[in-house]
Amino acid sequence: MKTTNTMIKGLVLVGAILASSSAMASADLYKKCAGCHGVHGERKAMGKSKVIASMGEDGVKTALHGYKDGTYGGAMKGLMKGQVARLSDAELDSLAKYIATLK
Ligand code: HEC
C-alpha cells in the first residue's frame, strides 16, 4: 500500500511538472506575438486582426494552421505566415491552448 501511494504521488508530481513546463513553453512562444496582439491577446494587431483572446482555442487553432498551409487569412496573411512557418504543428496547438486562456 505504502509503495503504491508513493508511486501515485510521484506520478502526480511528474504530471504537474510536465503540465507547467508546456505552459512555460507556450508563454515563451507567445512573447513574439505580444508585440502585435497584446500581452493578453486583447489588441487588433496593426488594426487588422480579430481580438485573438476571444476567438477560442479551436478558432485560433484553425487560424494558425491555416496561415501555415495557406488556407486561412485576410489581406495580411503573408505576414502571419512568416510568424508561424517555423513552428511545429504541436507548437501551434499549444499556442492556441495558451491564447484561449488569456483575457
Ligand atoms: C508584426 C505583427 C504580428 C505578429 C508579430 C503576429 N501577428 Fe498574428 N496577426 C497580425 C495581423 C496583421 C493579422 C491579420 C492577418 C490577416 O489579414 O489575415 C494577424 C492574425 C492573427 C490571427 C487570426 C486573427 C484573425 O483576424 O482571424 C491569429 C490567431 C494570430 N494572428 C496569432 C498570432 C500568433 C500566435 C503570433 C505569434 C506566433 C502572431 N499572431 C504574431 C499581426 C501579427
Q: What is the pLDDT at residue 33?
A: 98
Say whether pLDDT at 99 is over 70: yes
Alpha-carbon gap, residue 99 to 91, rounded angstroms: 12
Alpha-carbon gap, residue 1 to 8, rounded angstroms: 11
Q: How far is the CA of 80 from the centre of ligand 1 (A)?
A: 5
Q: Give yes or no for residue 37 CB within 6 A of ligand 1.
A: yes
Q: How far is the CA of 18 from the centre of ligand 1 (A)?
A: 28
Alpha-carbon gap, residue 88 to 94, rounded angstroms: 10
pLDDT in tens, 7-45: 777 767 666 665 666 667 899 999 999 999 999 999 999
Other Cβ atoms within 10 Å of 55 Cβ, number = 18
Q: Which residue has the higher pLDDT, 61 or 13?
A: 61
Alpha-carbon gap, residue 28 to 31, rounded angstroms: 5
Write out the three cell numbers for 6. 508513493
Q: Give yes or no for residue 81 CB within 6 A of ligand 1.
A: no
Q: Which residue has the higher pLDDT, 83 or 11?
A: 83
Which of 26, 30, 33, 50 is the pocket-test mutation for ligand 1 (most atoms within 8 Å of CB)? Answer: 33
